[in-house]
Structure 1
């Protein structure tokens, strides 16, 4: 039903409205005893008042008969400011439907109410509709609720000598859009539709089979012509006659490092009955990656007490993948072609895979759907960090060498933010000089600050200050943010009590204390060695860090996750460090395929205009060789996965790289001298384990996947790719023949095989904490040895 509205005409409409207003159904208008003249006078007052207006509504194509009378008004003429703070776009509304002509129509008043609300928002320009019906008028209260009105409170209103107890209520555009009468807001679950889900299940299942087979947990049986099959184990309590026979069949090629290239479209799930149904053709059954994990739980080694947690992380990964695919199909995500000219943050938000090796790579347990939309890196939303003042004597601000407090504050806050926060502290009768200023993730403030740390807030050891002025974009690491407001401002990394990919994503004040010193040491090492400069390699220093330790959780006998909920660090921004004509991008982009399956790296290589082999040689010189040099010449290792490197790119060729996340993920493996405050960097391991920093983190964690993409896309077959890797190691050895085996002569990157360290096995074993951060080497799990693709 559509209703057309025209302005009130007192002379024309008085007779009709007198009949309506004196009908018993209109008793809450309190005019049932009015004469025609009194109604006419009332309507003339409405028409003459610029703060009010009357409207008659007619059903379009309904014979021209009016069915509803509406009054709109400025709420301030009736409602005191103490009861409702006025806002621009406020519009008061009174509604009266005409008595039914003939048999009452079911749902008629509901449809009229919806049309009146659309009139208020779309034609009268309201941002918020205000109503104040009599609290006894249960019929209209029900209609208001269905239209999205929210009851603020009951108040006493007096007009024309009459006082009523009114149910003061408001309805915004968003409230109405989400209401039953408004037709509902855009479906927040639109991404969870069958066609999207089928594609994501298939993609994740292919990844599960590929990575679990790579880690030698699963053992597909070869059928010939690149066809393989996995058989679901039968439960021990099921008889052979009862149990369905379930198999997964697919086409795949196995490349060096046992990298499985599975054709996703070939995946089928086959079911046949028990042994009592011989000769029956297998039926194709729906693919569900969660059901796959449950069926293979014992093979995967997931403990019973943790299987539901792992499934929840996988379900969250599935949901995120559905959201990304749905948005891409709706035209809201860039293609790989679009990314060729994109900036650092556009590429950052375009990443979809999470982690190339982990199956449950986007768990984010603790985020709601709204949190996902607001804070997930792939959403690319702007947000403002929340700030809290932390008492100086209960916290510690660490600063890098030559980086004073004034430098830190100038980087962390704009002058306006700092002055505003100092004023808020002073307004509470406190001295700003007694506090440090710490940023917090908005989620962390909502869920932790005033609950987990309520006693600290009550003592004013923590003083919530509200949102800052700068807008930030979340990065792939979830808890790191890039400042979009002030060019060149540092990254900010904050604590976040979200369970994701085997860890609670906290940030330790204890680790923060020494973080700038560790960064200074590593920066000095890199800057002091011209080999790194020649290779275009440098680090992004974490120049300042702040941690609060005044809470009760720091006084318990044993450590706990609550000690890692109030800390922050600031890291250098790479953009001011770029050379002429260079742009920056996350290295994770090299493993990215868009929703059409187009690989970004393949587009880059073609756009560069050079041979794929030359492009790869450039990349290995900027990525692999600096890491090899750090290990062999300095006994230093980084955590060089895709998200931890920012590549410098010029003319679609990689010309250098910035390493980040230095403080938490850099280690010294040898006996070299370290000062006491950075001694925690040391991790004494034998030579074969030293080499794993290249074999596991670089060869297996990054290059294996890159070689698979280039092979699948027909740019460079895997055997040729690994010959280029071997050539890159030879090039390094030719420049540094005395360092080819490391400082102690115990590292051999060209050995015949290496220990096969497995990542998914760690998460499957304990999805709550994959490894002991303080003793990572002894937490690792191995699956025999892996043939080295660059063996001599």
Structure 2
């Protein structure tokens, strides 16, 4: 008996598909073709031998197949599948990759069965669209060409999601027909009456949103308490880790652990929200992060005009947290153990890059301090699925030719325009782009190439810059061939096709975590020069070379300024929508046996509660103190050295550091995002092109580059993880931090900046976002934008 290729369950029962056996099936199929219901097949005149020859010819053809379908074992259908680029529709249909042609013949029932043709059509479409690994034909789109006079099949095709493209003439002589060329994608079929329903928001169900709400409520209370906006109290005189937060008519109760730097770790599962219910007790209420913000609004005082924006960012954060949780539970996102195994077994440069990117996509928290940290206002659900970093999908950049007179390309020292584009675009791409410009009546020499995110083209360039496109100042020349994967910073993209090539950072006009994620052409103009200066300083310093500390240079930037928005009286966000930069990849910096991970991974916990950092320490086989010393030598020591020796400060949060690992131990750190984030905090001489980064502050504020951005922004969270997991007590953690600072002071004495001071100013991140959810700080004067809440005790102070 012929083996079954595919099985699916329909409303009428199980339908199976198997290759047609011409010898066995010819008589059966001949009877079907001879029935009046099969008149449009135009084969009713064939005898059994002729049908046998026909079926044998289909099966022998290289680009055609015939399949017999059975409903609960009874033959009910014949379907033919074919490649429309090679069979029947050549020269008629503009076939796309993944197109599959299909013909369907339903057996005339001996006894009419209500819903048979619906069940058959559903089964055939599933067979065509299901991936080959599950027995299907793997089509992205099904193509049919029924006779325009066949109204019954036209209605059935419509019910299956087919869209008529146009009418075409097919065949010759007696077999000629006027056909309705029609297509249905997977999404078309899924959304159709015969489909299984559109791919809805499966993450937005109580099981996943309950987890997300609890996590966000726990984080909100913890971080706003850390910023001294909330003051939970012990819940009872003998409470052991039990706390209560009274908000008028609503009370929150939870258990928590408290650590240095007023760091709270609240157990999300313990959170209870109740309302007073008179003398009889309390009423249990759902734990809801959005309701919490509404309840806190009298205290938070978010500007009324911006409250809805903040709630929308929080809603988006909630939705992405639910989606991340769903993917962890179903195994799409690996557990911490799976990530470590993937890193350990990676073999070869491409595999090391793939392991690196798997860790990147697995991160579930976003910024550890900000509550609303995955805003992404502007993304649709399909945009989220295509472009969110945690989805791990790949995309191709769309390239624009931007008229040279309105466009600036800045390059690292020693690089040339031809050399830069030769590295980022293949010869075939450059030739194709130039030919397309010429065909459109333009001289390629008059243009520079600028990559844009596909979302940015679809939602901004083709609409907001329609006039620029229409007059030929911006000319779309096609998608690039390299595939990229979005990083946690969402607008930065890693080259998966050629991992040794540069990251590309592009403008992406969505609202995310207090900023529109654009890129300013004017601001980017100095980026390569700033990076050259920082990289040269780092490379020349013996101490930094010894630690292995390196910067990933931003080696080129391009920006277009020919639009009308650059001629308005006041600066605006529209001036930041057409720029890009290129940054070095960490892969060429690796030696055999080394792996790379984002430093954000050290703050990651998987759905089972396992912390990446704790698992990494244990997997290394080193004593925890020795492991932490290695990490602090790679991360903290170079940052202290740059600040105290050169008054040079970075933005060293988890997304901006790449850690190089060997056998699970951090051996060095690679700093990125230099052009936008670096600052010189004193009067050291700077080249004119670099002067933009100067921000003179006093010694106490200089120290905040370590206290706020490192101690409070990173080490506070890492210490809590290691202490909570029983890996390393927090007093030993901070003692090792102090030891690292003292060792630098002994080796490089003389700085007036005291990183062992008793206290430091408490700079608050969420207060910034709550004050202005559209732009937290003025990037040209960040120091003046900061908000403080008193002082924090320094856990690395002198004892």
Task: Describe the shift of the 1:514–1:136 C-alpha distance in structure 2 as closer, same or farther (beyond 3 A).
Answer: same
Instruction: Note if 1:109 corresponds to 2:117.
Output: yes
Tell me if structure 1 keeps the 8 A contact 2:387–2:486. yes
User: What is residue 315 of structure 2 aligned with on the other side?
Assistant: 315
Tell me if structure 2 keeps the 8 A contact 1:205–1:288. yes
Tell me if structure 2 keeps the 8 A contact 1:46–1:54. no
Deviation for aligned residue 1:95: 4.3
Q: Describe the superposition over 1:703-736 as per-residue Cα deviations: whole angstroms up to 9, x where unpaired.
A: 1111111110112222222222222221111112
User: What is residue 238 of structure 1 aligned with on the other side?
Assistant: none
Task: Describe the shift of the 1:124–1:500 C-alpha distance in structure 2 as closer, same or farther (beyond 3 A).
Answer: closer
Deviation for aligned residue 1:652: 2.1
User: What is residue 288 of structure 2 aligned with on the other side?
Assistant: 288
- Aligned mates of 2:483, 2:532 — CA distance in 1: 28
Instruction: Note if 1:469 corresponds to 2:475.
Output: no
Tell me if structure 1 keeps the 8 A contact 2:561–2:575. yes
- Aligned mates of 1:591, 1:30 — CA distance in 2: 64
Between 1:166-175 and 1:475-484, the stretch displaced more is 166-175
- Aligned mates of 1:493, 1:366 — CA distance in 2: 18
Of 142, 149, 152, the residue aligned with 2:155 is 142
In the TM superposition, 1:66-465 aligns within 5 A as: 81=90, 83-85=92-94, 90-93=100-103, 95=105, 98=108, 101=111, 106-117=114-125, 127=139, 129-133=142-146, 135=148, 139-155=152-168, 166-172=179-185, 175-177=188-190, 179-184=192-197, 187-223=199-235, 224-233=239-248, 245-273=249-277, 277-280=278-281, 282-341=282-341, 342=343, 343-465=355-477
Tell me if structure 2 keeps the 8 A contact 1:389–1:436. yes
In the TM superposition, 1:594-743 aligns within 5 A as: 594-739=606-751, 741=752
Tell me if structure 1 keeps the 8 A contact 2:77–2:104. no
Deviation for aligned residue 1:458: 1.8
Task: Describe the shift of the 1:15–1:382 C-alpha distance in structure 2 as closer, same or farther (beyond 3 A).
Answer: closer
- Aligned mates of 1:708, 1:30 — CA distance in 2: 72
Deviation for aligned residue 1:749: 2.1
Unaligned stretches of 5+ residues in structure 1: 32-37, 234-244, 742-746
Tell me if structure 2 keeps the 8 A contact 1:269–1:287. yes
Deviation for aligned residue 1:387: 1.1
- Aligned mates of 2:80, 2:747 — CA distance in 1: 86
- Aligned mates of 2:593, 2:144 — CA distance in 1: 59
Task: Describe the shift of the 1:447–1:75 C-alpha distance in structure 2 as closer, same or farther (beyond 3 A).
Answer: closer
- Aligned mates of 2:65, 2:362 — CA distance in 1: 50
Deviation for aligned residue 1:500: 0.8
- Aligned mates of 2:159, 2:706 — CA distance in 1: 62
Deviation for aligned residue 1:621: 2.0
What is the DSSP-based 3-state SS (H/G/I as helix, E as strand, rest coil) of the residue aligned with 1:337?
helix
Between 1:681-690 and 1:136-145, the stretch displaced more is 136-145
Deviation for aligned residue 1:124: 9.8
Tell me if structure 2 keeps the 8 A contact 1:146–1:180. yes
Task: Describe the shift of the 1:9–1:248 C-alpha distance in structure 2 as closer, same or farther (beyond 3 A).
Answer: closer
User: What is residue 236 of structure 1 aligned with on the other side?
Assistant: none
Q: Describe the superposition over 1:178-220 as per-residue Cα deviations: whole angstroms up to 9, x where unpaired.
A: 54324346x4422222222222221111111100110111111
Between 1:149-158 and 1:686-695, the stretch displaced more is 149-158
CA-based RMSD of the aligned residues comes to 3.1
- Aligned mates of 1:773, 1:657 — CA distance in 2: 26
Greater Rg by CA = 1
- Aligned mates of 1:607, 1:2 — CA distance in 2: 49
Task: Describe the shift of the 1:27–1:294 C-alpha distance in structure 2 as closer, same or farther (beyond 3 A).
Answer: same
- Aligned mates of 2:85, 2:683 — CA distance in 1: 77
Task: Describe the shift of the 1:225–1:485 C-alpha distance in structure 2 as closer, same or farther (beyond 3 A).
Answer: same
Deviation for aligned residue 1:96: 5.5
Q: Describe the superposition over 1:746-782 as per-residue Cα deviations: whole angstroms up to 9, x where unpaired.
A: x332222222111011111211111111111111111
Tell me if structure 2 keeps the 8 A contact 1:230–1:248. yes
Deviation for aligned residue 1:425: 2.5
What is the DSSP-based 3-state SS (H/G/I as helix, E as strand, rest coil) of the residue aligned with 1:773?
coil
Deviation for aligned residue 1:70: 6.7
Between 1:376-385 and 1:661-670, the stretch displaced more is 376-385
What is the DSSP-based 3-state SS (H/G/I as helix, E as strand, rest coil) of the residue aligned with 2:430?
helix
The alignment's TM-score, normalised by the length of structure 2, stands at 0.87
Between 1:120-129 and 1:383-392, the stretch displaced more is 120-129
Task: Describe the shift of the 1:214–1:112 C-alpha distance in structure 2 as closer, same or farther (beyond 3 A).
Answer: same
Tell me if structure 1 keeps the 8 A contact 2:32–2:38. no
What is the DSSP-based 3-state SS (H/G/I as helix, E as strand, rest coil) of the residue aligned with 2:750?
helix
User: What is residue 762 of structure 2 aligned with on the other side?
Assistant: 756
Q: Describe the superposition over 1:673-714 as per-residue Cα deviations: whole angstroms up to 9, x where unpaired.
A: 223322211112222222211111111101111111111011
- Aligned mates of 1:339, 1:320 — CA distance in 2: 20
The alignment's TM-score, normalised by the length of structure 1, stands at 0.88
In the TM superposition, 1:2-13 aligns within 5 A as: 2=14
- Aligned mates of 2:416, 2:789 — CA distance in 1: 49
- Aligned mates of 1:230, 1:194 — CA distance in 2: 25
User: What is residue 515 of structure 1 aligned with on the other side?
Assistant: 527
- Aligned mates of 1:400, 1:72 — CA distance in 2: 54
Tell me if structure 2 keeps the 8 A contact 1:758–1:783. yes
Tell me if structure 2 keeps the 8 A contact 1:155–1:165. yes
Task: Describe the shift of the 1:90–1:278 C-alpha distance in structure 2 as closer, same or farther (beyond 3 A).
Answer: closer
Unaligned stretches of 5+ residues in structure 2: 1-12, 59-63, 344-354
Tell me if structure 1 keeps the 8 A contact 2:32–2:108. no
- Aligned mates of 1:272, 1:643 — CA distance in 2: 43
Between 1:775-784 and 1:533-542, the stretch displaced more is 533-542
Instruction: Note if 1:532 corresponds to 2:538.
Output: no
- Count matched residues: 754
- Aligned mates of 1:559, 1:783 — CA distance in 2: 31
User: What is residue 240 of structure 1 aligned with on the other side?
Assistant: none
Deviation for aligned residue 1:153: 2.4
Task: Describe the shift of the 1:636–1:143 C-alpha distance in structure 2 as closer, same or farther (beyond 3 A).
Answer: same
- Aligned mates of 1:231, 1:59 — CA distance in 2: 63
Task: Describe the shift of the 1:722–1:115 C-alpha distance in structure 2 as closer, same or farther (beyond 3 A).
Answer: closer
- Aligned mates of 1:73, 1:738 — CA distance in 2: 78
